[in-house]
Structure formats: structure tokens, C-alpha cells
């Protein structure tokens, strides 16, 4: 038999009686839901100040599985492995402690710490002295040291039961799901949006995923992988939605009509407009972003203020005060770092000389050039799915498209960089034809090119060309590869 005590996050304990009762009931239900996938007969009991878990299974794999699952449940501060003892005298407690901890404290310094609830004929201090004295006398090489010992023997006594704490594991903390209202997280697959999503889940908000696709099918597969992982790890007790919006037409409209210095802020405002419409459709009261003050040009206080004015929907920014290294450290801790590192950034989306202190009047004037029918269309065409339905899709791997550094005879190079980038640094390759076709026009114009030729896509980092090649392959254009000139 295995037994665990789940300790509540401190902020739950200080809530009013009614709120605390609701939170602990929700947590109890979540724990049952998760653990009964591994043991249908697991006993989960809400004891007001903690939750006890008992399973008749005793194998090591069950123990490790239970610990791993419980450590990722929002609302749990500690997962404590315990041995439960029914006692009549202090000596009963001591005898059980001796058998359990003797191998652990042999040759080491130790102390005994006891917490007690109920009516007894001894105090907590007297119990510590009795158990500690017996261990000191009967375990070879063990010696009592009250400050900074090698081992602390922890025992909790409640009425006629003693719980000998064998190991303590740190939990996720936070509030149980869903004790807060739903939120819609703008997920891009990078470090920031993944960590922001995690923080909202930890805070007890059922967090849905909103993906603005800027990089085609390959990008969507990658973001689905990140989203599914976060949901599975930290909020699988509740259904959530994954919403995908094809934002490439919006990006194309911005690149062609908006002043370069305002592109970043206008793009964010378009995302907030779209996000607010989708949130309203789903009856979700708040958006979540991974923005942090000063991290990029659109995240200065002045620009964030301009972005916020585009909608009345609440915008939450849980990372607003964190620096990049703190965010990356959290990504490493929660397991998203490798996926975030592999997620590409998209050349041509952000202007070279962005305005870091834009004015609302200037942005509104620029947006008058924007065709809002484009935005309305992509929102109307948003694809909404239950995240559980994409489990198989998240397991897919994006195969790398073939790339070359030496061009074959007769090859045509398509420079897919933005017009601004191409103007600043025109691509010329002696002996080969070079055409400029921005990445945001590939989907609609590649089919107009002569299909009896081989095409090699080029962009500065080679990332966008890789993704666009994969997308063209999916559409049946197999005469496309990536051009990566040797340095």
C-alpha cells in the first residue's frame, strides 16, 4: 500500500471558509480524475487542511507515476510520502520510526520534528525528545543535532494516528483548475507565450489556445505540439479549445500598406482585435500574452498603451516584469525549452526601424489604409477544435525540406524576403535567374510560374524558406527546394 498527503498551496489556506471549501473540493475532484487513470480504486479524501491519497498498489512504478502526476496539479504545494501508524503510546510511534529511518540516519546527524493535532497526554516537544532519544541510543553512528542536521525526521500526529514522512516533493502551487475564469492565450510556440500560458494554468484559469499562423502548416504543427504538451502537463483535467487563425493575409496587408515604423504595433493591434472577437464568440473574458516590458519595440510602455486601446477586452501579461533569462529558466523548468528553441522566427514580419514610442493618432492614421475585410475574413474562417482531437497531429514531426548550397544548372532562385529587406540587400547570383516573390505572396502566385523549372527559395536565415518549401510540397509543388548559400 502507498499513502500520500497532499499539502495545499498557502494562498488556499488563508481564503475564507466558503472559498477554501470550494477550492479544496475542486482540487479533490481533480486529483481523483488524474489518479484513477492509473488505479480505479484509489482512495482520495479531503481533510480540509490536506488531501490524503491511498492506493493498494505498492510497486515502484505506481509510486513514481503518482508523484509525477501530483507534482503537476495546480493547487498542490507539497506531495508527501508517508507511512501511517495507529498508535496507543509514544513507544508505538518510536518503534515504527526506528524501523523506517534507521538506515537513513545511520552514521549521520539528525533531529526529530513533530507536528501534533488533537488531545494527547504528551506535548510535541516531549514526543520529539522520546523518539529522538530512542533513535540516538539505538542507531549506530547516529547523533542528535538540532541545528542543520544531515537528516530531519518529520512526523505528524493527528488524534490516534501518526504519519511518518519519508519523502517530500515540491508541487506546482497556485490554485486548482478551474477556480478562476477562462482565458484565451495567444500562443506562438516560443519561450514567452508558453511560459505565460503555464502561469495562467497555475493560477487556476482554464486556458484556451489562440494561434495566429504566420508560417503555414509546418508552423501550426509545431505550435500544436507545444499547446498539447502544456495542456497535458498542467491542465488535462479540463477540456480546452485550440483556435487557429490564418494571419498571413493580414501580414501581407500590413507589409504592403502600413508605414514601416508602425508595422509591429499595428500587427499587435490586429491580433488583439481578432483575439477579442474570438474571445467574445467563446464567452471568454480575457486575453493572455507573453509580453514583457522593453523586450522588443512593440513592448515599450508607450506602445503597449497604444495596443491596449484597440479593445475593451482585458489583456493579461503575466511576464510583464520578467527578463528573458528568467523566462527561459521557467521554460526549462516546465519542459518547453527544446520546443521553443526549435520554433522558428519569421523573417520579414517586423520592420527594421520600428517606432518605440508611437502615437495613437499616427497608428490610427496608418490603419485607415488597412482593408479590414481581410481581418474580418480570417476571423470568420478561424478553425476551433477540442485540443484532445489533435493528439495525433501533435505527434507528427515536420520533415526537413532538402536544401542545397550549390545550385544546379537552370535553377531559378526565388528571393522570398520582404520588399524592404530585398531593397536593402538585393540578391544577385552570377549565371542564375533570381526572382523576387515575397513569402506572403507565394501561396497565391507560385502556381503562375512556369512549372517546368526547379525553384530554390531563399531568405536571410533560411527559416522561412524551409517552411514555405514544406507548404508548397503539401500543395503538390515538388519542384521546390531551399537555397542556403555557403558562408
Catalytic positions: 459
- Closest Cα to residue 287, out of 275, 274, 301, 303? 275
Burial class (CB in 10 A: 0-12, 13-18, 19+), 53: buried
Say how far apart CA 51 and CA 46 lie, in whole Å.
5
Q: Which residues lie below 8 Å from residue 175, measured CB to CB, with a gap of 6+?
A: 9, 11, 12, 23, 74, 75, 202, 203, 204
Q: Which residues lie below 8 Å from residue 425, measured CB to CB, with a gap of 6+?
A: none
Say how far apart CA 423 and CA 74 lie, in whole Å.
51
Please report, to the nearest 10 degrees, the dihedral formed by the alpha carbons of residues 104, 105, 107, 108 taken in order.
Answer: 120
Per DSSP, 432 falls in state S
Say how far apart CA 446 and CA 396 lie, in whole Å.
26
Per DSSP, 408 falls in state P
Q: DSSP string of 148-196? A: S-SEEEEEEEETTEEEEEEEEEE---S--TTSEEEEEEE--SSHHHHHH
Say how far apart CA 390 and CA 387 lie, in whole Å.
6
Q: Is 364 helix (H, G, I), strand (E, B) or coil?
A: helix
Q: DSSP string of 309-336? A: TT-SSEEE-TTTT--HHHHHHHHHHHT-
Alpha carbon distances (Å) from 20 to 12, 62, 75: 6, 30, 11
Amino acid at each position: 500500500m502507498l499513502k500520500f498527503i497532499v499539502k495545499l498551496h498557502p494562498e488556499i489556506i488563508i481564503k475564507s471558509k466558503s472559498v477554501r471549501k470550494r477550492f479544496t473540493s475542486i482540487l479533490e475532484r481533480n486529483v481523483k480524475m488524474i489518479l484513477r487513470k492509473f488505479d480505479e480504486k484509489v482512495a482520495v479524501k479531503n481533510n480540509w487542511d490536506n488531501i490524503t491519497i491511498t492506493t493498494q498498489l505498492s510497486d515502484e512504478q505506481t509510486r513514481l507515476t503518482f508523484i509525477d502526476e501530483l507534482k503537476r496539479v495546480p493547487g498542490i504545494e507539497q506531495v508527501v510520502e508517508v507511512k501511517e501508524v495507529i498508535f496507543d503510546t509514544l513507544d508505538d510511534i518510536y518503534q515504527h520510526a526506528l524501523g523506517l529511518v534507521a538506515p537513513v540516519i545511520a552514521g549521520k546527524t539528525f533531529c526529530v520534528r513533530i507536528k501534533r493535532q488533537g488531545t494527547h497526554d504528551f506535548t510535541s516537544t516531549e514526543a520529539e525528545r522520546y523518539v529522538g532519544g530512542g533513535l540516538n541510543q539505538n542507531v549506530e553512528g547516529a547523533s542528535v543535532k538540532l541545528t542543520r542536521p544531515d537528516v530531519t525526521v518529520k512526523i505528524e500526529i493527528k488524534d490516534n494516528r501518526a504519519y511518518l514522512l519519508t519523502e517530500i516533493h515540491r508541487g506546482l502551487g497556485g490554485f486548482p483548475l478551474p477556480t478562476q475564469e477562462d482565458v484565451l492565450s495567444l500562443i506562438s510556440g516560443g519561450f514567452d507565450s508558453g511560459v505565460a500560458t503555464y502561469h495562467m494554468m497555475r493560477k487556476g484559469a482554464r486556458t484556451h489556445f489562440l494561434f495566429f499562423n504566420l508560417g503555414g502548416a509546418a508552423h501550426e504543427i509545431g505550435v500544436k505540439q507545444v499547446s498539447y504538451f502544456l495542456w497535458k502537463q498542467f491542465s488535462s483535467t479540463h477540456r480546452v479549445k485550440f483556435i487557429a487563425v490564418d494571419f498571413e493575409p493580414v501580414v501581407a496587408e500590413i507589409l504592403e500598406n502600413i508605414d514601416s515604423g508602425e508595422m509591429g504595433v499595428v500587427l499587435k493591434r490586429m491580433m488583439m482585435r481578432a483575439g477579442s472577437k474570438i474571445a467574445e464568440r467563446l464567452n471568454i473574458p480575457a486575453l493572455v500574452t507573453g509580453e514583457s516590458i522593453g523586450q522588443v519595440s512593440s513592448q515599450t510602455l508607450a506602445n503597449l498603451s497604444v495596443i491596449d486601446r484597440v479593445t475593451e477586452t482585458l489583456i493579461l501579461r503575466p511576464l510583464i516584469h520578467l527578463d528573458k533569462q528568467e523566462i527561459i529558466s521557467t521554460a526549462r523548468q516546465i519542459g518547453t525549452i527544446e520546443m521553443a528553441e526549435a520554433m522558428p522566427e519569421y523573417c520579414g514580419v517586423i520592420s527594421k526601424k520600428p517606432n518605440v514610442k508611437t502615437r495613437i493618432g499616427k497608428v490610427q492614421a496608418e490603419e485607415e489604409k488597412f482593408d479590414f475585410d481581410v481581418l474580418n475574413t480570417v476571423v470568420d474562417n478561424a478553425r476551433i477544435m477540442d485540443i484532445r482531437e489533435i493528439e495525433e497531429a501533435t505527434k507528427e514531426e515536420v520533415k526537413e525540406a532538402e536544401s542545397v548550397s550549390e545550385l544546379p544548372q537552370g535553377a531559378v532562385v526565388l528571393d522570398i524576403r520582404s520588399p524592404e529587406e530585398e531593397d536593402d540587400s538585393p540578391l544577385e547570383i552570377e549565371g542564375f535567374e533570381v526572382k523576387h516573390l515575397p513569402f506572403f505572396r507565394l501561396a497565391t502566385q507560385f502556381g503562375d510560374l512556369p512549372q517546368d523549372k526547379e525553384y530554390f527559395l531563399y531568405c536571410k536565415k533560411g527559416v522561412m524558406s524551409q517552411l514555405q518549401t514544406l507548404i508548397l510540397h503539401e500543395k503538390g509543388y515538388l519542384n521546390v527546394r531551399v537555397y542556403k548559400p555557403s558562408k
